[in-house]
Structure 1
Amino acid sequence: MTKPSMIRNAALAAEGHQKIEWVIRHMPLLRQMEADFIKTRPLEGIRLTMSIHLEAKTAYLAKVLASAGAQVAVTGSNPLSTQDAIAAALADDGLAVYAWHQATPKEYTEHLLAALDIGPQLIIDDGGDLVHLLHQERRDLLKNLYGGAEETTTGVLRLRARAAQNKLEFPMMAVNDAFCKHLFDNRYGTGQSVWDAINRTTNLIVAGKTVVVAGYGWCGRGVALRSQGLGAQVVVCEVDPVKALEAAMDGYQVMTMDEAASLGDVFITVTGCRQVIRGRHCASMKDGALLANAGHFDVEIDIPELQALAVEEKEVRANIRGYRLSDGRWINLLAEGRLVNLGAGDGHPAEIMDMSFAIQVLAVLHMLQNRETLKPGVHAIPREIDDRVANMKLAAMGLSIDTLTPEQQAYLSGWESHE
């Protein structure tokens, strides 16, 4: 059963349409898919629930899936990243939308559950909240569920942890692990969008500052690269010795957070873990230090410990919460410690999300086509999907590449002779 949309302000639809129309111009892969789907309708009659950061690029993904014939219910995956104008525009287009900006925890859960009320056969998740609710509160929906796709690093980590304990009861495609996702979205998308958000929110210079990046996965690599490009001195904090060594050989300083705390001007957490920056770290930071989180959940910076240190807290600028310590130093937290590139910005560039969402669409189709054989668990994106998206992107950029001749293929696959 589809409930009426739950949005903040339907009058914002025109603004939302304008934003969506802008990104559509810069998403040629999804445009091509949409043109094909209008004719072929590969998702005809399928019910699909999406929980993903609700902004313009995501809205176009939802519209493309609807053009394929799916009945789509859309909700957010983070209360701070939902844009009310986008929600209004999607509802105006006839999609079922359950989300608004700055939803309370109770409202956020209500929105997720409302989106699940359509009884989805397929899901697209971002962070794992839909998967959690399907296993805990809406187990009645499992019987009709084929499976789904997970967008982000944190969500895949949660899926693998659940699967390791044999507690994942349906198949999920690990979209985050696709080459055309993590190599480009996580690295270049995160690197740019994090700094877009920080610069927009603070209006401060980066050059000459020390930026501490916690985590050197693909997202952390991107943040460190863009920090360096903006003229910052970059410190990387890691728990993985191989990644720490890579960061050192990439030219960054590597040290513990305890060592870095007094050196940094800007701290950016990108780990997927919790309590990466603790109260003791905040206690030794410079006056005016900026704290930003680029991980999915608002647990990487220990906000309760920061609050316990503070003798005063207030909004010092839009989307910046200042915490004054007893000696007069201020520590500044951006976007409530939530995902800064979406909580204080518009997220990744459209050209990047065009690739990631193309993989999402193809992963959903793969799940549907292979629903009889895919077992519960976390499944890799087939290489042919990556190659298809990469070839589409190259073509959209007007680029051509070489192909192997039959003789070269035989040479590479053989072992008898290398003459």
Structure 2
Amino acid sequence: MTSAPLLFTVRRSQPELVPPAAPTPREVKLLSDIDDQEGLRFNIPMMFIYRHEPSMKEKDPVKVLRHALSQALVYYYPFAGRIREGAGRKLMVDCTGEGVMFVEAEADVTLDEFGDALHPPLPCFEELLYDVPGSELIIDRPIRLIQVTRLKCGSFILVVYLNHTMSDGAGLKLFMNAWAEMARGAHKPSIQPVWNREILMARDPPHITCNHHEYEQIFSSNTIKEEDTTTLVHQSFFFRTSDIVVLRLLVPFHLRHCTTFDLITSCFWCCRTKALQLEADDEIRMMCIVNARSRFNANNSPLVGYYGNCFAYPAAVTTAGKLCGNSLGYAVELVRKLKAEVTEEYMHSVADLMVIKERCLFTTIRSCVVSDVTRIKLREVDFGWGEAVYGGAAKSGAGPFPGAAYIIPHKNVEGEEGFILLVCLSFEAMKRFAKELDEMLGKQN
């Protein structure tokens, strides 16, 4: 017998603009040619869940976070501005100091009522982030939309809408850390933010020097099954340590030192491809988000405190028949190889490609992309209430692209550390995906 879905009511105050706590420079700053590509022109909701902390009983999380936010914006003042679009679709930030959108809310529910699933997809998630009209747009709108929802038990849920043209996951973590430090009484961030977007501007003249399968524009008439977006559902799958051991035993001995990310990503790609029931000769792509900060010259100090987008999503290309007809090791080899492609030169080549190909979108047909947020450790963001119960993406899919998945570190209610895989598929494909995953992990009935 399945329990009834959790329903609760959220009461919100009127949205307000929170400006920087002190005067900030009035200027226009160009985004980089990595930042303003088509594939990043969307908002992505990030969620943080905090339990009641007895030592903070006299503190109101809404007031603490609102005040600290205004202080953090003094240092991250471009977030208080507005995105503008110039000639050639070039994006820039008009540092107006207007502020970010902030919503105070209360829910008539306790954290315990959510049960074991203190991670996405959360029941009534749409109630935890007020949908300000036009919030799906990024130009001439507040760059951040934030809702802090108090729960009856003293816990609270923070949802931050991230404008992806401004920051990647690592950049978000820098901002969140600074905000949290202010909430805990600091007067300035321990890591000073830097703009330096010129590092990832296209060269003059721009010239593409690497292969970029992720931006190849392909056409296909056989996309109906994959592109059925009318019944999309979001689901999370928890990988225990024992599950990772099972996957590791499925790959050849010489690959068993591969990362957990490689294993889960390869597993996801194989199960998803089977679930979509593609033709054997259909060309498919797996794109992995690769943080490129470490790929730059070690002496490149301008990247310390850099909160712009500094990643690529190189693509592995094969056919559905080859992927599904080989062992998991075949996918792992492809994933490992594509991650190694990202170098400083690769990043400059992407920036040049964006200018030459008019900021084109990555390939979406028979493609999926996996984002690894295990290393940025968003759960560690501490506003004074301790580590978050959950910190990471609020749902799978990225903007208009449902084929985006996330791998997020998570501790379940039993205290077991593992990884959540957030997936978005059509209802029928999701059922097939879950079955394929159980079979691969040896859990089939």
**TM-score relative to the length of structure 1:** 0.23
Greater relative contact order: 1 or 2 (C-alpha under 8 angstroms, separation 6 or more)?
A: 2
**TM-score relative to the length of structure 2:** 0.22
Higher helix share: 1
